Amino acid sequence: MKSINPATEEVIETHEEHDEATVDARLDAAWDRFESWRETPISRREKLLASAADVLREHSEEYASLMTEEMGKPIEQAVSEVEKCAWVCDYYAEHASEFLQDEHIGTVPGSKTYVSYEPIGPVLAVMPWNFPFWQVFRFAAPHITAGNVAVLKHAPNVFGCADAIASVFERAGYPDDVFTSLQIPAERVAGVIEDDRVRGVSLTGSTRAGRAVAETSGRELKPTVLELGGSDPFIVLDDAPLEATAKQAARARTQNNGQSCIAAKRFLVHEGVYDEFVERFTEEMRALTVGDPTDPGTDVGPQARADLMETLHEQVTASVEAGATLRLGGEPLDRPGHYYPPTVLTDVPDDAPARTEELFGPVATVIEVEDETEAIRVANDTPYGLGASVWTADAERGEALTTKLTAGNVAVNHIVASDPRVPFSGTKDSGYGTELSRHGIREFVNTKTVWVE
Ligand code: NDP
């Protein structure tokens, strides 16, 4: 299992797949640790999490460089990602006990009746390479502080990051095996879910992977959180300030080299401002610096893997063959590394991949709509329901549209982004279950009623 630098195509490290005995030993250790970790006072668990935040901040450059090397994220965005991980640790270090405190029910006279939230055991996290630290920390910070233990199966191209994350917990002083990691391919995940020592599963990744994990977890009756893909609409109304909106649009599409589930992917623009928006947006996309992700001046680095770039290019080519107009980009760059340029497509037919599929790279589909009604119809005309944004000079007008958008995260005049303080979840093929906030920490707990007469 190889980790390959996508900017140079050089092999960084080869990792040995864990054999069955190693997986078995790690699950045993995770289960044993759970027995004592659940008894550790939550105040102690919060303290350790605060130490993990300190470790992340102290070593942010080291961790950021590793992410950039393994998956091509521009270095400044990698540093921000490490800082965001520290933030989610701080957040749950401060709030976990408040979110999980017993809830007394005052309506049953003569009895003491309350709800307690108890950990359930080792929880498997199947994670992707696109935010190799953030996806893991937003899972681990709440759930280990709730008293569960974490078992990570990371994507093989970021196994170095998996080891580095384990080092964060070690450096922070956690007991062994509160966080553990398995070096296994996707084919062996079902066997781990079926194991009695694993009590829940969280997956971030493609809808295809989500369905596979949901199928096994369903059979095993294990709780699941699925954060899957998206084809987020970015709706530009006729009163939107176009200069600022076009800038935000380019940022929303190309953050993380365009490889984000909540990146804006379809730009639905009112016909009154369509031509001007396309022109401004295309110029913003053209102005982005594509190149070496270790250079702080780079806006867009390489795609994380050769096959991912090839799939993206096939989607663009098929859309152009179906009748789409290519306004910018559209060809891999002729240099070592998996570089795909910022690309803008317009006049995309309804059934072309650029409208029907998730484009996981810096490729934007711009669609002209005649009014708000059509914007909402097209926005919801996708199997996904992760994020959506509305751009307008009139925030109330924008807010009125939020109830009509079928998505887990809707923003007005703001790029859709995750934030520890608010829930993050999707609907439809974007998955189910919630991460972050007071809601996320209750996904893998036993909500227990205690009734004392
Ligand atoms: P995958 O969904 O295949 O990978 C994500 C994680 O799931 C990896 O750890 C992977 O393991 C694992 N996985 C894959 N298939 C299964 C399975 N059948 N059972 C259990 N675990 C599985 O994403 P890819 O890396 O292949 O990317 C493909 C597409 O997925 C992207 O182009 C994008 O559209 C979407 N995606 C969405 C993400 C998001 O943030 N929502 C993140 C990444 C991808 P392994 O790598 O070993 O196969």
Q: Which is the catalytic residue, given 69, 81, 227, 368?
A: 227
The pLDDT, as a whole number, for residue 111 is 86
- Does residue 290 or residue 107 have the better pLDDT? 290
Give the pLDDT score at 440: 98
- Nearest CA residue ID for atom 35, ligand 1: 206
pLDDT in tens, 352-382: 999 999 999 999 999 999 999 999 999 999 9
Pocket of ligand 1 (CB under 6 A): 126-128, 130, 153, 155-156, 185-186, 189, 204-206, 209, 212-213, 227-229, 261, 308, 358, 360
Which of 195, 206, 208 to mutate to test ligand 1, by most ligand atoms within 8 A of the CB atom?
206
| Mean predicted lDDT score pLDDT of the chain | 97
Res. 110 pLDDT band, cuts 50 70 90: confident
Average pLDDT over residues 286-314: 98
pLDDT value at position 397?
A: 97
pLDDT at 106: 80
Q: How far is CA 300 from CA 237, 296, 343, in A?
A: 27, 11, 12
What would the mean pLDDT of 168-183 be, rounded to a whole number? 98
pLDDT band at 410 (very low <50, low <70, confident <90, very high): very high
pLDDT of residue 327: 98
Q: Calculate how far, in angstroms, residue 364's C-alpha sits from the geometric centre of ligand 1.
A: 22
Nearest CA to ligand 1 atom 20: 186
In the predicted structure, residue 404 carries a pLDDT above the cut 90: yes
Q: Where are the alpha helices (DSSP H) in 125-206?
A: 134-145, 159-171, 189-194
Residue owning the nearest CA to atom 42 of ligand 1? 205
Is the pLDDT at 8 greater than 80, yes or no? Answer: yes
Give the helix ranges, DSSP H, for 199-256. Answer: 207-220, 242-254
Query: Does the active-site annotation cover 261?
Result: yes
pLDDT on residue 444: 98
Q: Pick from 186, 153, 192: which is nearest to 27 by CA?
A: 192
Tell me whether residue 227 is one of the annotated catalytic residues. Answer: yes
Q: What is the Å distance from ligand 1's center to 189 Cα?
A: 12
Among residues 81, 261, 357, 368, the one annotated as catalytic is: 261
Q: What tokens appear for 213 in the block?
A: 């994990």
Mean pLDDT within 247-255: 98
Please, are residues 357 and 347 in contact by the beta-carbon 8 Å criterion?
A: no
In this prediction, residue 107 carries a pLDDT of: 74
Rounded mean pLDDT, 128-140: 98
| Half-sphere exposure (Cβ direction) of 369: Cα atoms closer than 13 Å | 24
Average pLDDT over residues 56-65: 98
Q: Residue 291 in contact with residue 301, Cβ under 8 Å? A: yes
Give the number of the atom of ligand 1 that is nearest the alpha carbon of residue 185.
47
Quote the percentage of the chain above a pLDDT of 70: 100
Whether residue 238 has pLDDT greater than 90? yes
Instruction: State the average pLDDT over residues 383-397.
Output: 98
Ligand 1 atom nearest 1 alpha carbon: 47
- For ligand 1, atom 11, the nearest C-alpha belongs to 186
Distance 154 CA to ligand 1 centre (A): 10
pLDDT value of position 109: 80
What global pTM score does this model have? Answer: 0.97
| Ligand 1 centroid – CA 308 distance (Å) | 11
- Say how many Å lie between the CA of residue 148 and the centre of ligand 1: 24
Does residue 148 surpass a pLDDT of 90? yes
Average pLDDT of the segment spanning 34-56: 98
Asked if 239 and 394 touch (Cβ cutoff 8 Å), the reply is: yes
pLDDT in tens, 207-233: 999 999 999 999 999 999 999 999 999
Q: 383: CA distance to ligand 1 center in Å?
A: 17
Q: How many CB atoms lie within 10 A of CB 92?
A: 30
Closest by CA position to 244, among listed 77, 371, 392: 392
**Beta strand pairing call for 427-428 and 384-385:** antiparallel
Do 93 and 53 form a contact (C-beta atoms < 8 A)? yes
Integer angstrom CA distances of residue 206 from 70, 203, 227, 301, 440: 20, 9, 8, 22, 20
**Which atom of ligand 1 is found nearest the CA of 386?**
41
Residue 31 pLDDT exceeds 90: yes
Predicted confidence (pLDDT) per residue in 317-351, tens digit: 999 999 999 999 999 999 999 999 999 999 999 99
